[in-house]
């Protein structure tokens, strides 16, 4: 295999198609994982005719924040339907696909080495922008089209598998949410305080040193406060199928940090609230966790929080939550779907962890044999 090097500028044409007719309103951004995502910008009363249109085969990148993020947000658009991106983005396409394939070029952009080099080339501004001319000067190894197709098959095959898993996760999430929404429509809601009670067992002998925190992703995590000299005798014990939550909601990005323990017992800060379901003949802890996982509950807890400097969702507020409680068999069915969701989520995360390193491995083959 032979390969030669060419600067990016010789391989691409910049495109600047504007959304003049205003027909397209699907505004996308690019995250640091180099994927298009729905934009979080508030575009109410915004003139979308100034935004750039991207079509299948178009690249878009944000060269303004490379120094801050230490990577270049760049992605290849592969959807059949056009979308729009910020006018501040650079958009371009490959000149000759008989010389370099867009998917191969995207593999080159995925490499950690590419991000580091872009960061190295940044200017000295606060955000650390990458000048377009300097981006165009970056050289790319160009193997034969046959070799490019081989690498594309390996890399994009894995990416396709990961996308299928992501879609299955979205479908399972939709099923869980739809089930609970249907229960809400049925109207009968019950007071949560009739099914739960606080747990106050302390780690008096100090033997348990598995100190846990709670993230806004609603999972227990190893606490960063854990030290050998830390006195943990006043910490609360938390056991399997028990909940813990942080009552302060004003510092968590409008989310309540709450989690259900499904691992061996640990300990949590004495400032956390720990509780359990005592009536498991009618309410299963995992079903309750699904209720807590919904964004609607985050909004509910935030709205019902009280305080001045710190707003809290106290135990009394928790007990006054009203929720639909279907029969046990229905709860078990939706929990099984949730278990499948967690399993596939784990596989999906492993796939994602393999994709980015693979781009470097494949490109190393080009560099070694070129």
- Three-state secondary structure along 56-68? CCCEEECCCCHHH
pLDDT of residue 1: 42
Q: What gap in Å lies between CA 60 and CA 142, rounded to an integer?
A: 21
Q: Tell me 318's DSSP state.
A: H
Is the model's pTM score more than 0.75? no
Contacts of 126 (CB under 8 A, 6+ apart): 68
Whether residue 175 contacts residue 192, with contact meaning beta carbons closer than 8 Å, is answered with: no
Does residue 96 share a domain with residue 72? yes
Summarize pLDDT for 20-50 with one digit per residue, the tens: 988 888 999 998 888 899 887 777 788 899 9
pLDDT bucket at 65, cuts 50 / 70 / 90: confident
330 domain residue, yes or no:
yes
Beta-carbon contacts of 56 under 8 Å, excluding residues fewer than 6 positions away, are 77, 78, 79, 80
Domain check: are 138 and 215 in the same one?
A: no
The verdict on residue 184 lying in a domain is no
Residue 366's pLDDT is what? 62
Burial 160-198 (b: 16+ CB within 10 A, else e): eebeebeebbeebeeebeebbeebeeeeeeeebeebbee
Q: Are 132 and 211 in a shared domain?
A: no
Instruction: Please tell me the distance from the alpha carbon of residue 89 to that of residue 92, in angstroms, as a whole number.
Output: 10
Q: Is the same domain home to 306 and 330?
A: no
Domain CATH code at residue 138? 3.90.220.20
Burial of 122 (0-12, 13-18, 19+ CB in 10 A): buried
- Tell whether 307 and 346 lie within a shared domain: no
> How far out from the chain centre does Cα 108 lie?
23
From residue 11, alpha-carbon distances to 54, 101, 103, 105, 119 in Å are: 18, 10, 13, 10, 21
Q: What is the pLDDT of residues 291-306, one digit of tens each?
A: 999 989 999 999 999 8
Q: Report if residue 88 sits inside a domain.
A: yes
* Residue 180, in any domain of the structure: no
Q: State pLDDT tens for residues 309-340.
A: 789 999 999 999 999 999 999 999 999 998 88
pLDDT at site 57: 95
Q: How confident is the model at residue 106 (pLDDT cuts 50, 70, 90)?
A: very high
State the Cα angle at 255 between 275 and 25, rounded to 5°.
150
Nearest by Cα to 53 from 77, 30, 32:
77
Number of compact structural domains in the chain: 3
What pLDDT is stored for residue 212 in this prediction?
94
Residue 176, in any domain of the structure: no
pLDDT tens track for 216-242: 999 999 988 777 788 999 999 999 999
Boundaries of domain holding 293: 190-323
| 3-class SS of residue 289 | helix
Residues 8 and 129 in one domain: yes
Same domain, 291 and 318: yes
Q: How far is CA 303 from CA 31, 255, 317, in A?
A: 30, 11, 11
Q: Is 283 domain-assigned? A: yes
Provide the pLDDT for residue 127: 63
Going by pLDDT thresholds of 50, 70 and 90, the confidence category of residue 2 is very low
Same domain for 315 and 369: no
Task: Let me know whether 25 and 138 are in one domain.
Answer: yes
Are 134 and 35 contained in the same domain? yes
Residue 330, sorted as left (phi over 0), alpha (psi -120 to 50) or beta, turns out to be alpha
- Are 259 and 290 a contacting pair, CB within 8 Å? no
Domain end (from 127, 142, 157)? 142
Same domain for 245 and 265?
Answer: yes
Judge if 270 and 258 occupy the same domain.
Answer: yes
What's the CA angle centered on 108, arms 349 and 8, to 5 degrees?
A: 150
Domain end point (choices 323, 341, 356): 323
């Amino acid at each position: 295999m032979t390969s030669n090097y060419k600067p990016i500028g010789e391989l691409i044409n910049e495109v600047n198609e504007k959304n003049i007719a205003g027909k397209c309103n699907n505004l996308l951004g690019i995250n640091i994982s180099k994927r298009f995502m729905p934009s979080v910008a508030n575009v109410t009363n915004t003139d979308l005719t100034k935004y750039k249109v991207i079509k299948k085969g178009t690249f878009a990148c944000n060269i303004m924040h490379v120094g801050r993020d230490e990577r270049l947000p760049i992605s290849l658009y592969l959807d059949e339907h056009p979308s729009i991106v910020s006018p501040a983005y650079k958009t371009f396409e490959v000149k000759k696909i008989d010389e370099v394939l867009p998917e191969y070029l995207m593999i080159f952009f995925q490499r950690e080495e590419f991000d580091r080099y872009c960061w190295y080339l940044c200017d000295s501004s606060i955000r650390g922008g990458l000048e377009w001319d300097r981006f165009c000067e970056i050289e790319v190894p160009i193997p034969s089209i046959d070799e490019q197709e081989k690498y594309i098959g390996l890399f994009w095959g894995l990416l396709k598998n990961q996308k299928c898993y992501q879609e299955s996760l979205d479908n399972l999430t939709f099923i869980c949410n739809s089930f609970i929404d249907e229960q809400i429509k049925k109207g009968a809601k019950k007071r949560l305080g009739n099914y739960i009670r606080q747990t106050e067992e302390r780690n008096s002998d100090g033997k348990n040193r598995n100190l846990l925190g709670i993230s806004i992703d609603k999972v227990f995590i190893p606490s960063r406060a854990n030290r050998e000299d830390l006195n943990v005798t006043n910490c609360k014990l938390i056991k399997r199928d028990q909940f813990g939550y942080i009552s302060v909601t004003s510092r968590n990005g409008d989310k309540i940090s709450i989690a259900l323990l499904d691992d061996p017992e640990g300990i949590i800060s004495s400032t956390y609230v720990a509780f359990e379901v005592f009536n498991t003949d009618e309410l299963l802890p995992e079903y309750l966790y699904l209720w807590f996982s919904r964004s609607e509950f985050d909004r509910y807890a935030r709205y019902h929080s009280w305080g001045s400097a710190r707003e809290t969702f106290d135990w009394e507020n928790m007990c006054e939550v009203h929720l639909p409680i279907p029969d046990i068999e229905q709860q078990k069915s939706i929990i099984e779907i949730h278990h499948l969701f967690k399993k596939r989520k784990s596989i999906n995360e492993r796939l994602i962890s393999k994709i980015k390193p693979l781009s470097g491995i494949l490109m190393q083959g080009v560099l070694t044999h070129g």
